[in-house]
Amino acid sequence: MTRHDDARLTRALESSASDLLAYLERRVGPDDAPDLLGETMVVAWRRVRELPDDSERARMWLFGIARGTLLNHQRGQRRRWALADRIRLQLRESPTAPAADEGTEVRDAISRLDPDLAELVRLVHWERLSLAQAANLLGIPASTARGRYQRAKEELRAALRVEAPLA
């Protein structure tokens, strides 16, 4: 990119940004529009060499990029909604799905743990990671994870008033 390209794109964006934002807001609302405008600008910077010299053609070029960004956003939203629908259906059909209030005492006890301990317990029990895998994910030594996990179990037993196993 040359300084000339940089200056031309800056001028084009400055003159069109409010119109582009309004275009995007009318399609996705005020929450997502600024993010999409930012994505539009990033794409424009990457493709600056394609920027037309004529100011009106440059404006339309930016609108074309905004439209492509919008279409990508909409495709992504459709994929997320479809995934959420599949997950909801799978959970509804799952014979092992717990009742909504089942396990609330345990979840509450875990949430009262120190955040590092709680995350370790969740990784081991909810995500079914080994202690070594959880330690790796958390970026801590396995020995530290073992110590934290032991402390978490003790605190959970106390919170839930559960007797320690004899073994």
The 10s digit of each residue's pLDDT in 18-70 is 999 999 999 999 999 999 999 999 999 999 999 999 999 999 999 999 999 99
Q: Where do the domains of the chain lie, and which CATH numbers do they carry?
A: 3-93 (1.10.1740.10), 104-160 (1.10.10.10)
pLDDT score at 151? 95
DSSP of the chain: --HHHHHHHHHHHHHHHHHHHHHHHHHH-TTTHHHHHHHHHHHHHHTGGG--SSHHHHHHHHHHHHHHHHHHHHHHHHHHHHHHHHHHHHHHH-TTPPPTTTTHHHHHHHHTS-HHHHHHHIIIIIS---HHHHHHHHTS-HHHHHHHHHHHHHHHHHHHTPPPP--
The 10s digit of each residue's pLDDT in 101-129 is 567 888 889 999 999 999 999 999 888 99
- Whether the pTM exceeds 0.75: the reply is no
Is the pLDDT at 161 greater than 70, yes or no?
yes
pLDDT score at 90? 86
- What is the band of 97 on the pLDDT scale with cuts at 50, 70, 90? very low
